[in-house]
Amino acid sequence: MAATSLAGMTNPPTSDIDLFADEVVLDPYPVYAELREDGPVVHLRRNDVYALTRYDVIRGALADWESYSSTSIAFNPMANDALTGTSLASDPPVHTRLRATLTENLSPRALRGLQGRIEAKADALVAELVDKGSFEAIDALARAFPLEVVADLIGFRGHVRENMLRWGQAAMQVLGPMNQRTAENFPIAGELYGWCSEVTADDLEEGSVGRGIFDAEAQGAIPPNTAGHIIHQYLGAGVDTTVAAIGNVVALFGSHPDQLDLVRSDPSLVPGAFNEVLRFWAPVHAWGRRAVRDVEIDGAVVPAGAQIAILFGAGNRDPRHYENADTFLVERGPADHLSFGYGPHGCAGQGLARLEAHAVIEALSRRVKRLVVGPEVRVPSNITRSIEELPVLEVIPA
Amino acid sequence: MKIVLDRPRCEGHGLCEEAAPQLMHLDDEGELVLDREDVDGADAALAKAAARVCPVAALRVA
């Protein structure tokens, strides 16, 4: 119920949904639909957050850094404290400089030289899996491929390569509220943090992007002691989400053979198909902001200082913006989906994510006629929504 | 109407070029070039579509 307060403004509607309950993080879409109907912003009493639920409001908030600060992207104060000083958790004008440093080696223009290698790797891996005839898609493809790409890019070797997945998963888990998952993952995220605070150029392969970041630090192009932070962000933000997206590619093409057929008959649909995968299943469940001042949303007031939860997946299924929003249609090609965020903090690694995912979709659509998949296994997770296991029971080759 | 590019914010994602190849392109260095800045009618609609898909909000049409 909305209650009237000062100047004709109302308080946002409230809900007793727990955004981070196991059943919600496993399948948030029914809850997203309910909250979206409650209003564009809903106060979740149990989490004490204001959830943004509709497409226009989410996109508007992502663009409006003057009202919505990134100093509270996590849902617990310890994680927010630990992120202080990173581009992820800062606002302009400081953010502008940090972002430029972070994207220097990660922007599409920096990555253009990598495209051929990434495509060749994806094709070789998919060819091998097609030959096998059946495989577990998450370990064998969704994890294996981005881990190899990112490890080679940054120049990781030895025990770091082995830890990338658990470190990357933990770095996302600890952004949740102070629940058991967050508590259990802090020590693992701490290993990553500890390693990144001690890593030196010599720990990374010669000629890698990671080496380049240390060279930039040595030459004074970036401030002292920032190289480790940047590598921390590459690993923390870039691994778990890309794994989720590529797993979703396999699962959705498996369960929608007609949509795979469309891409097979028209390869120009590949970028649009990836956009639709990201729209249909957002890899990130909830992302924080802090209201800098009283913010009015459709006549309701969110008080200054409030913790905001941006629900990308709710906005992506908003029927006010997308027709048949609950249907997976590759020809929709929704380039304006919200899963990479938007605006000054839009995903810094989206160029690399696109290179990887397009390469996988291209290879699948060239080599596979049909994927027969078994039921997907999911485990509850605070921030990243991904598939844990996905059996591909049979590959029908192209 | 005029296409306005916030150059420091542009990271060269290239989605604008896909939306409006008649109006803009990435050059060999991956830098965005506005082939036309003044637009009206159908071109203005294209320019707005390009601005809409910029993932970092570096383009606007004013």
For residue A212, what are the contacts with CB-CB under 8 A and spacing of at least 6?
A105
State yes or no: pLDDT of A161 exceeds 50: yes
| Residue A102: predicted pLDDT | 83
A107, A336, A344 member nearest B12 (Cβ): A107
State yes or no: pLDDT of B52 exceeds 50: yes
For residue A362, what are the contacts with CB-CB under 8 A and spacing of at least 6?
A119, A122, A123, A267, A270
Q: Average pLDDT of A351-356?
A: 96
Nearest to A355 by CA among A112, A90, A25, A83: A112
Instruction: Specify whether the CB–CB gap between A338 and A282 falls below 8 A.
Output: yes
| Residue A225: predicted pLDDT | 83
Q: Which chain B residues are Cβ-neighbours of A103 within 8 angstroms? A: 11
Calculate the average pLDDT of chain A. 94
State yes or no: pLDDT of A6 exceeds 60: no
Q: Which chain A residues are Cβ-neighbours of B26 within 8 angstroms? A: 109
When scoring A101, A111, A312, A336 by the number of chain B Cβ atoms within 10 A, the one with the most, hence best to mutate, is A336
* Cα–Cα distance measured from residue A248 to residue A137, given in angstroms and rounded to the nearest whole number: 10
Q: Average pLDDT of A344-363?
A: 96
Distance from CA of A276 to the nearest CA of B (A): 14
| Residue A328: predicted pLDDT | 98
Q: Which chain B residues are Cβ-neighbours of A96 within 8 angstroms? A: 8
State whether B12 and A340 contact (CB < 8 Å): no
Distance from CA of A223 to the nearest CA of B (A): 19
Distance from CA of A278 to the nearest CA of B (A): 14
Give exposure, A125-134, as e/b (b: 16+ Cβ within 10 Å): bbeebbeeee
State yes or no: pLDDT of A3 exceeds 70: no
Tell me which DSSP letter residue A141 carries: I
| Residue A368: predicted pLDDT | 98
Q: Tell me, what amino acid is at A357?
A: A
| Residue A254: predicted pLDDT | 98
| Residue A54: predicted pLDDT | 98
Which of A102-106, A243-247, A281-285, A374-378 is predicted least confidently?
A: A102-106
Q: Does B35 touch chain A (CB under 8 A)?
A: no
Residues spanned by the domain of B39: 3-61
Instruction: Specify whether the CB–CB gap between A89 and A73 falls below 8 A.
Output: yes
Closest-approach residue (CA) in chain B for A96: B9
| Residue A317: predicted pLDDT | 98
Confidence label for A4 from pLDDT (cuts 50, 70 and 90): very low
* Token duo for residue A31: 């809850």
Confidence label for A385 from pLDDT (cuts 50, 70 and 90): very high
CATH number at residue B26: 3.30.70.20
Instruction: Specify whether the CB–CB gap between A218 and A357 falls below 8 A.
Output: no
H/E stretch holding A160? helix A159-173
State yes or no: pLDDT of A202 exceeds 60: yes
| Residue A1: predicted pLDDT | 42
* Cα–Cα distance measured from residue A371 to residue A392, given in angstroms and rounded to the nearest whole number: 7
State whether B55 and A347 contact (CB < 8 Å): yes
Please give the share of chain B, as a percent, with pLDDT higher than 90. 94
Nearest to A70 by CA among A359, A373, A375, A346: A346
| Residue A9: predicted pLDDT | 82
Domains held by chain B: number: 1
A96, A107, A343 member nearest B11 (Cβ): A107
Give exposure, A146-171, as e/b (b: 16+ Cβ within 10 Å): bbbbbbbbbbbeeebeebbbbbbbbb
* Cα–Cα distance measured from residue A49 to residue A85, given in angstroms and rounded to the nearest whole number: 23
State whether A108 and B9 contact (CB < 8 Å): no
Q: Which chain A residues are Cβ-neighbours of B8 within 8 angstroms? A: 96, 100
* Token duo for residue A208: 């890698």
Distance from CA of A275 to the nearest CA of B (A): 12
| Residue A223: predicted pLDDT | 82
Q: Is A353 left (phi over 0), alpha (psi -120 to 50) or beta?
A: alpha
Pairing of the two strands A368-373 and B24-26: unpaired
State yes or no: pLDDT of B1 exceeds 80: yes
For the residues of A55-119, what is the DSSP string, one character each?
Answer: HHHHHHHHH-TTTEEGGG-SSSHHHHHHHTTSSTT--TTHHHHHHHHHHTTTSHHHHGGGHHHHH
State yes or no: pLDDT of A17 exceeds 70: yes
A96, A335, A347 member nearest B15 (Cβ): A335
* Token duo for residue A293: 């001042």
Three-class secondary structure of residue B11 per DSSP: coil
State whether B31 and A96 contact (CB < 8 Å): no
Q: Is A322 left (phi over 0), alpha (psi -120 to 50) or beta?
A: beta
Nearest to A245 by CA among A354, A389, A119: A354
Q: Average pLDDT of A290-304?
A: 97
Q: Which domains are delineated in chain A?
A: 6-397 (1.10.630.10)
Q: What are the pLDDT digits (tens) for A58-72? A: 999 999 999 999 999
Which residue has tokens 């049409």? B61
pTM of the predicted model, to two decimals?
Answer: 0.95
Q: Average pLDDT of A254-273?
A: 98
Confidence label for A7 from pLDDT (cuts 50, 70 and 90): low
Q: What are the pLDDT digits (tens) for A23-39? A: 999 999 999 999 999 99
State whether A335 and B53 contact (CB < 8 Å): yes
* Cα–Cα distance measured from residue B57 to residue A96, given in angstroms and rounded to the nearest whole number: 13
* Cα–Cα distance measured from residue A174 to residue A74, given in angstroms and rounded to the nearest whole number: 8
Q: What is the ipTM of this complex?
A: 0.93
